[in-house]
Chains A and B, each alone.
Chain A
Amino acid sequence: MEKLKVKIGLEVHVQLTKLKTKLFCSCPSDYRGKPPNTYVCPVCLGLPGSLPKVNSKAIEYAVMVALALNCKINRKVMFFRKHYFYPDMTKNFQITQYDRAGGAPIAVNGYLKLSTSDKEKVVRIRRINIEEDPGKLVYPTGSIITSPYTLVDYNRAGIALLEIVTEPDIETPAEARLFLQKLRSILEHLDVCDCGLEGAVRTDANISVAGGGRVEIKNIGSIKDVEKALMYEILRQKEALLKGLSIRSETRHWDDVRKVTVPLRVKEEEQDYRYFPEADIPPIIITEEFIEKIAKQMPELPDERLKRFQREYGLPYYDSSVLVSNKKLADFFEETVKLYKRNPKKVANVIINDFLRWIHEKGLELDNVKAKPKDIAELLKLLDNGIISIKIAKTVLPEIIVSGKSPSQVVKERKLLKISDKQIIRQIALKIFREHKKAAFDALKDKKAINYLIGQIMKYTKGRADPAVTGKVVKELLTDLKEGKLKL
Chain B
Amino acid sequence: MEKLLEHLSWLARVKLCNYERKLLVNDIAKIMEFFNRLGEIDVKDVEPTTHVIELVSVFREDKPGKPLSLDKALKNAPSKEGGFFKAPRIL
Contacts and interface: CB of A to CB of B under 8 A. Distances in A.
A, B in one complex: yes
B88 interface: yes
A35 B83 contact: yes
A37 B56 contact: no
B59 A54 contact: yes
Contacts of A78: 50
A456 interface: no
A40 B65 contact: no
Contacts of B47: 102
Nearest to A150: B87
Interface string A251-288: 00000000000000100100010000101011111000
Contacts of B86: 149-152
Contacts of A54: 58-60
B89 A277 contact: no
B84 A36 contact: yes
Number of chain B interface residues as a range: 35 or more
Nearest to A274: B11
B74 A37 contact: yes
Interface in A10-52: 19-21, 25-29, 35-42, 45, 47
Interface residues on A, range: 35 or more
Contacts of A29: 64
A87 B77 CA distance: 12
A285 B57 contact: yes
Given A41-B68, A277-B50, A277-B51, A151 B85 contact: yes
B14 to A, nearest CB: 9
B60 A103 contact: no
A149 B70 contact: no
A240 interface: no
B39 interface: no
A343 B63 CA distance: 45
A152 B85 contact: yes
Contacts of A244: none
Interface in B9-47: 11-13, 47
B87 A152 contact: yes
Nearest to A276: B50
A19 B82 contact: no
Contacts of B59: 53-56, 59, 284
Q: Is the contact region of chain B dominated by helix, strand, or loop, or is it mixed?
A: loop
B63 A37 contact: no
Contact of A36 (B68, B83, B89): B83
Contacts of B58: 53-54, 281-282
A36 B50 CA distance: 36
A37 B76 CA distance: 13
A57 interface: yes
Nearest to A273: B11
B84 A145 contact: no
B82 A151 contact: yes
A21 B82 CA distance: 25
Contacts of A42: 68
Contacts of A102: 47-48, 50
Nearest to A85: B13
Contacts of B73: 37-38, 40, 45, 154
A395 interface: no
Contacts of B48: 101-102
Contacts of A84: 11
Nearest to A266: B10
A272 B10 CA distance: 11
Contacts of A55: 59-62
A53 B68 contact: no
Interface of B: 7, 11-13, 47-48, 50-53, 55-65, 67-68, 70, 73-74, 76, 81-91
Interface of A: 19-21, 25-29, 35-42, 45, 47, 53-59, 78, 84-87, 101-103, 137-138, 144-145, 147-154, 265, 268, 272, 277, 279, 281-285
Given A151-B84, A282-B55, 11 more contacts: A27-B64, A27-B67, A37-B84, A54-B60, A56-B62, A57-B61, A103-B50, A151-B81, A151-B87, A268-B11, A282-B53
23 contacts: A21-B60, A21-B62, A26-B60, A27-B64, A35-B83, A36-B83, A41-B65, A45-B68, A45-B73, A53-B60, A54-B58, A55-B60, A58-B62, A78-B50, A84-B11, A144-B90, A149-B89, A150-B87, A150-B89, A151-B82, A283-B50, A283-B56, A284-B57
